Structure 1
Amino acid sequence: MDILLLGFGAVGRAFCELLEERSSSLRKVLPKGEEIRVVGIGTRTRGCLYKSNGLPLSAVLDWESKTGKLFGLEGVSCPNDSESLVEQGDYDLLVECTTSSLYSSAPIARAIKKALDRGKAVVTCNSTMVYRHYFELKELAECKGGALLFDSAVVAGTPIFSYVRHFLPAVKVSACYGVLNGTANYVLEMMEDGATLDEAVMEAVRKGFAEKDPLLDIEGTDSAIKASIIAQALMDAPFQALDDMIIEGIRNVTPDMLRKAKKEGGRVKLVANIRRGSSSVEISVKPEIIPSENPVSKLRGASKGVIITTDLAGEVYLASDGFGPRQMAYGLLRDSIEAGSQKMGPCN
C-alpha cells in the first residue's frame, strides 16, 4: 500500500516513526503481507518529496531533523508543490495531517476532493476540515470507490467511528456524551489542585497538551466542532454552525464549583452532549458536575472519552488516556490499515 503524506509536523513525523518501528508487525495485518510504503510527502513551506518505490523514511527523518526542511535530500525527487503530488502522484492512500484554522479549511478540502475524485482512500486527523466538509467528502468517496476515515479527528487514538462501524452494525445512535477536549480536562484537574486558570493553561502548553493559542480548547469551540462531527457521522445530522449550538467554555468555572463537586464526590468536566430530539439533533458544550458513578468522571489529565447510547446495544463507553502526536499518529495508522483492507466499488 503506497501512501502520500500531507503534513510533516509533529504528527507527520510520528506517523513515519511508527511505520519504521512497526514495519514487521504491519506486514502481518495487511492482506497478503502487503508492505506500507510512503512514496511522497507534501508540505506547504518546507518542500515536497517523491519516490515511486518508497521514500527512505529513516533518511527523511534524519534529514528533516538536521535541516528543518524536506527538499535537498539526495536521491529523491522534489516536486514543486503538494498539489501536483495529489493530482499526479501514484499512490493508494492519502494521509492528511496538516493544520487548518476554523475558517481556512477549504484548501485542504480541495486537495482531499482531488484525491477522492481519483478513487483514492483518504485518512485525516483534521477536525475543522471534517466538520465543515463531511457530507460532500463522504458522498464523493462513496461514488468514486474510495474511503474517508477520520477517527483521529475527534478523540485521537480512540476508535469511536471504527468501533461503531465494526462492532455495532445496524444500531441507531440516539446520544453521545463525554469529554472531547483533553486540554480542558487537564486544566480543570489542575484547578482542582489549586492552580488558577491561567497557570493551568500555561502548564498545559508547556507539557504539549495544548496549542500555543489554546483559545478554542478553553472556550469549548474545539469540543463543539468534534461533537458536530459525531452528530454528522453517527447520527446523520446536518451540519450545524457554531452559533446554533450551546457553547460555554471553562472560563467561568469557579473554585466554589470545584469544591462543591468534590464534596459531592464528583468532578467538574467540560462535557459535550449530543442528543437526538423530536425533530433535530441538539448539541451543547458546557461544564458539568459529573457524579462519581459516571465513568466520564474518572477521566484524568488530558484523557478523553464518550458514552454512546444506542437502541440495540444500550450504552457503550469508549475512552483513552493517550494524548499527543504519537497517539494521533497511531489513529492515522489504524485507519490506514483499515483503508488498505477495504474493497470498495463506485456507486451507480
Structure 2
Amino acid sequence: MSEALRVGIAGLGTVGASVARVLTEKAAELTRQCGRPILVTAVSARSKGRDRGVDLSGAVWFDDPVEMARTADIDVFIELIGGDEGPARESVRVALENGRHVVTANKALLAKHGLALAGIAEEKGVLLNYEAAVAGGIPVIKTMRESMAGNTVSRIFGILNGTCNYILTRMEAEGISFQDCLADAQRLGYAEADPTFDIEGNDTAHKLSILTSLAFGTEIAADDIYLEGISNITQADIRAASDLGYRIKLLGVALRTESGIEQRVHPTMVPTASVIAQVNGVTNAVAIETDILGELLLSGPGAGGNATASAVVGDIADIAKSRPGFQHGPVFGRPVTELAPYTRAKMRSHEGGYFIRLTVSDRTGVFAAIARRMADNEISLESIVQHANGHNSADQKTVILVTHETTEAAVRKAVDGITSDGHLVDKPQVIRIERAARTRL
C-alpha cells in the first residue's frame, strides 16, 4: 500500500469539522477505495479549545493558516475559511506555490482570483479541486471537467442557492411573506445573519461564473452578470404565477450566442409541470445542454455540513488516487493560457416573454397610458388584466401584463416610461417567463 496522504484543514466550522469527522470515521473505507490512508496531520482555526465533535489531538495546531500552508508536513491544503481576500486567498496561494495540492469550497475566492490561482497550480503541477464550491454535494464540476469530453455545451442553468429556493418554496406552500420566510431561514441556519449575499443573487452569480468558464472555455467574469435577487418577490407574484400555471425560481443561466456569452441571475416563472419547478427546499439543480449528450439534469443537496463535506472528501479522494508523475488536467477544463477572453453577448429577445405587475392609481386613462408605453417599445401583449387586490386601497388597482417575446431593454424602458408618467403607487415587478414544458430555458 502507498504511503498516507497527509492533509491540513484550515477552517473548522460546520464544514471543516464535518470533513475531519468523515475522514476519521470513514478512514478504513477511504483507505480501501483510494489505496492509501488519508490522515489529518495539521489543522488551523480561530479557536483551539472549542469542542468540534471530533478528536484532532493527533494533528499539529497552527494559529495561522498561511503558516500551515507554508510549513506543515502535508500533501494537501484544505481551505474552508471563506472570503475572497485575506487568509483564504493568501493561504491557498502559498500552498500552491509550495507545491501542495489544494481543495477549497470557496466560490467567492475562485470567482475573483480563480484564474491566477489556477495558473499557479498548473505551473507547479498540482491539483486545485473545488467541487464543493458549486451546488454543494452535486458532482457538477467533476462531471463537466471529466465526464463530458467531446461535448459542446450550448447552455447551462439551474437553481444554485438553497436559501433562495427554500424561501420561495415556503412562500408558495404556506402563503407567508418573504420577510417571515427569511426570518425562519435564519433561525434554522439556512440563511446568514446578513443574508444579502444570498437573497440578492451574488452567491448564485459566483457559482454561475465558474460553471460558465467550464462550459464555454472562457475566463471567469463574475462581475459581468445581469443580477437580480428575490427580495422584491411578494405573495401577489406567487399567486399570479400559480394562476398562470407557473412557479417562481431564482435561476442562474449562461448560454452561448453568436455575439458572445450571456450570463444572468434572476427570478423566473417556470411551468409547474417542468422538472426544474419540482426542485424544492434547499435542494439545488443544474441542467447542462450539449450537442452529444443532450440535456443532463443533476439535482441534490446544495448546502449544509454533510453535503459540502462529501464534495470536499471526494476531491481529497481523487488526489489520494493519483500517483507521482500523473499529469493533472487543467483547473477550468483547459489551460488558463488557453481560456478565451469573456465577451458579453448583445441583448437578445427572451422567447418566454415577461410578467409585469403594476400597482397604479385607479383613474381614467391609466390603462391606455400603459398600453401606449408598450406599443411605443414594440412590445406585444398576450394579456392585460386589471383587478382589485385586498392589499390595495380603494383608489388603487393591480395591473398584470403578460408579454410575447421581447427584449429585457424594451421591457425596462417601457416600465421606466410608465413610472415617469406618474401612474405607479408602488415599485413595479418584472419577472421573466419560461413557457417551455421541460427544463429548457
Superposition TM-score, scaled by structure 1 size:
0.86
Residue in 2 aligned with 1:99?
82
Residue in 2 aligned with 1:40?
42
Answering whether residue 188 of structure 2 is matched by residue 200 of structure 1, we say no
Structure 2: distance between partners of 1:155 and 1:235: 19
Q: CA deviation at 1:235?
A: 1.9
Q: Is the 8 A contact 2:245 2:272 kept in 1?
A: yes
Query: What is the SS of the residue equivalent to 2:50?
Result: helix
Query: Is the alpha carbon distance of 1:198 and 1:123 closer, same or farther for their aligned partners in structure 2, counting shifts above 3 Å?
Result: same
Query: Is the alpha carbon distance of 1:76 and 1:22 closer, same or farther for their aligned partners in structure 2, counting shifts above 3 Å?
Result: closer
Query: What is the SS of the residue equivalent to 1:212?
Result: coil
Q: Deviations over 1:242-291 (max 9, x none)?
A: 3x321111122232321232234431100111111224222111111111
Structure 1: distance between partners of 2:276 and 2:79: 30
Q: Is the 8 A contact 1:182 1:304 kept in 2?
A: yes
Structure 2: distance between partners of 1:75 and 1:20: 11
Match of 2:19 among 11, 15, 28: 15
Q: Deviations over 1:328-347 (max 9, x none)?
A: 11110011111222343489
**Mapping for residues 55-94 of structure 1, pairs under 5 Å:** 64-65=50-51, 77-94=60-77
Structure 1: distance between partners of 2:65 and 2:234: 47
Structure 2: distance between partners of 1:338 and 1:8: 22
Q: Deviations over 1:146-180 (max 9, x none)?
A: 00111111101101010123321222222111110
Query: What is the SS of the residue equivalent to 1:184?
Result: helix
Aligned residue type for 1:254 = T
Superposition TM-score, scaled by structure 2 size:
0.69
- The worse-fitting range, judged by mean Cα deviation, of 163-172 and 194-203 is 163-172
Higher RCO, Cα 8 Å, sep 6+ = 1
Q: CA deviation at 1:239?
A: 2.8
- The worse-fitting range, judged by mean Cα deviation, of 22-31 and 326-335 is 22-31
Aligned residue type for 2:185 = A
Structure 1: distance between partners of 2:57 and 2:281: 43
Query: What is the SS of the residue equivalent to 1:237?
Result: coil
Answering whether residue 141 of structure 2 is matched by residue 161 of structure 1, we say yes
Residue in 2 aligned with 1:229?
210
Aligned residue type for 1:36 = I
Residue in 1 aligned with 2:8?
4
**Mapping for residues 281-300 of structure 1, pairs under 5 Å:** 281-300=261-280
Residue in 1 aligned with 2:315?
335
Q: Is the 8 A contact 1:177 1:273 kept in 2?
A: yes
- The structure in which a higher percent of residues are helix is 1
Structure 1: distance between partners of 2:250 and 2:111: 20
- The worse-fitting range, judged by mean Cα deviation, of 132-141 and 106-115 is 106-115
| Higher radius of gyration, 1 or 2 | 2
Q: CA deviation at 1:81?
A: 2.2
Structure 2: distance between partners of 1:247 and 1:21: 42
Answering whether residue 158 of structure 2 is matched by residue 178 of structure 1, we say yes
Answering whether residue 169 of structure 2 is matched by residue 189 of structure 1, we say yes
Q: Is the 8 A contact 1:106 1:129 kept in 2?
A: no
Q: Is the 8 A contact 1:265 1:291 kept in 2?
A: yes
Structure 2 unaligned residues grouped into runs of 5+: 331-441
Q: CA deviation at 1:98?
A: 0.9
Aligned residue type for 2:296 = V
Residue in 2 aligned with 1:311?
291
Q: Deviations over 1:111-139 (max 9, x none)?
A: 11221122221110011001111112222
Aligned residue type for 1:246 = Y
Query: Is the alpha carbon distance of 1:78 and 1:240 closer, same or farther for their aligned partners in structure 2, counting shifts above 3 Å?
Result: closer
Q: CA deviation at 1:91?
A: 1.1
Q: Is the 8 A contact 2:78 2:104 kept in 1?
A: yes
Answering whether residue 132 of structure 2 is matched by residue 142 of structure 1, we say no
Answering whether residue 132 of structure 2 is matched by residue 152 of structure 1, we say yes
Query: Is the alpha carbon distance of 1:311 and 1:75 closer, same or farther for their aligned partners in structure 2, counting shifts above 3 Å?
Result: closer
Structure 2: distance between partners of 1:160 and 1:204: 26
Q: CA deviation at 1:76?
A: 6.2
Query: Is the alpha carbon distance of 1:322 and 1:230 closer, same or farther for their aligned partners in structure 2, counting shifts above 3 Å?
Result: closer
**Ranges of 4+ aligned residues in structure 1 off by more than 3 Å:** 73-80, 343-347
Q: Is the 8 A contact 2:66 2:90 kept in 1?
A: no
Structure 2: distance between partners of 1:30 and 1:266: 46
Structure 1 unaligned residues grouped into runs of 5+: 48-62
Match of 1:218 among 195, 199, 203: 199
Residue in 2 aligned with 1:59?
none
Q: CA deviation at 1:295?
A: 1.6
Structure 1: distance between partners of 2:271 and 2:304: 28
Match of 1:128 among 95, 102, 108: 108
Structure 2: distance between partners of 1:241 and 1:30: 35
Aligned residue type for 1:65 = D
Query: Is the alpha carbon distance of 1:258 and 1:137 closer, same or farther for their aligned partners in structure 2, counting shifts above 3 Å?
Result: same
Aligned residue type for 1:263 = D
Residue in 2 aligned with 1:278?
258
Q: CA deviation at 1:75?
A: 7.4
Query: What is the SS of the residue equivalent to 2:230?
Result: coil
Q: Is the 8 A contact 2:42 2:60 kept in 1?
A: no
Structure 2: distance between partners of 1:139 and 1:335: 19
Query: What is the SS of the residue equivalent to 2:293?
Result: coil
Q: Is the 8 A contact 1:181 1:223 kept in 2?
A: yes
Q: CA deviation at 1:25?
A: 1.4
Structure 2: distance between partners of 1:79 and 1:321: 32
Residue in 2 aligned with 1:51?
none
Residue in 2 aligned with 1:55?
none
Query: What is the SS of the residue equivalent to 1:273?
Result: strand
Aligned residue type for 2:43 = I
